[in-house]
Amino acid sequence: MEGRKMAIIATKGTLDWAYPPLILASTAASLGYDVQVFFTFYGLQLLRKDLDSIRISPLANPAMPMPMPMPVFVQALPGMEAMATSMMKQKMKSKGVASLQTLRDTCRECDVKFIACQMTVDLFEFDKSEFIDGIDYGGAATFLEFAGGADITLYI
């Protein structure tokens, strides 16, 4: 797949939706693709040094397979978001799914280019010192230059 390009726009920051961009980017890169990921909106959470604060919400997520059915008002109780996050992490670990940290490291080792959306950084007042090193900052116009010539472009 030498010479092929993949462009990803990563907009989500929850535990479930943090996986797809990192899995697809690392897989494509290991197949020889030239990959760039543009992190914008809540996707910027994936660039934090510390990924422990990434959570999943069981609320309004009726398609999430749960170990036991639970009424919505129970899902809204204090602590349920933390519990669902902890359960999902344990399940992933027990099933041998790589952590977000490992997938992100694999991306970097495979030369996936990470770009943080400058507009969203300003909007949400993210502190750049909280982000990992070696990333670029840019806007939609810069990213479209790469995406316009990519074989696969995904908005996640």
Q: Residue numbers of the site for its own copies (CB under 8 A)? A: 1, 4, 9, 11-14, 16, 19-20, 23-24, 27-28, 30-31, 33, 40-42, 45, 54-57, 59-65, 71-73, 75-78, 80-81, 91-92, 95, 97, 119, 122-126, 139-141, 144, 147-156
Structural Rg of the chain based on CA atoms: 17
H or E element in which residue 145 lies = helix 140-147
Q: Is 30:107 a contact under the CB 8 Å cutoff?
A: no
Of the two residues 89 and 113, which places its CB atom closer to its own copies in the complex? 89
* Residue 14 DSSP code: S
Contact predicate 54/135, CB 8 Å: no
Q: Of 64 and 136, which CB lies nearer to its own copies in the complex structure? A: 64
Nearest 5°: CA angle at 117, between 114 and 122? Answer: 135
Minimum distance of its own copies from residue 109's CB (angstroms): 17
Based on CB atoms, which residue is closest to its own copies, 36 or 40?
40
For residue 60, the minimal CB distance to its own copies (Å) is 4
Token representation of residue 44: 């910027």
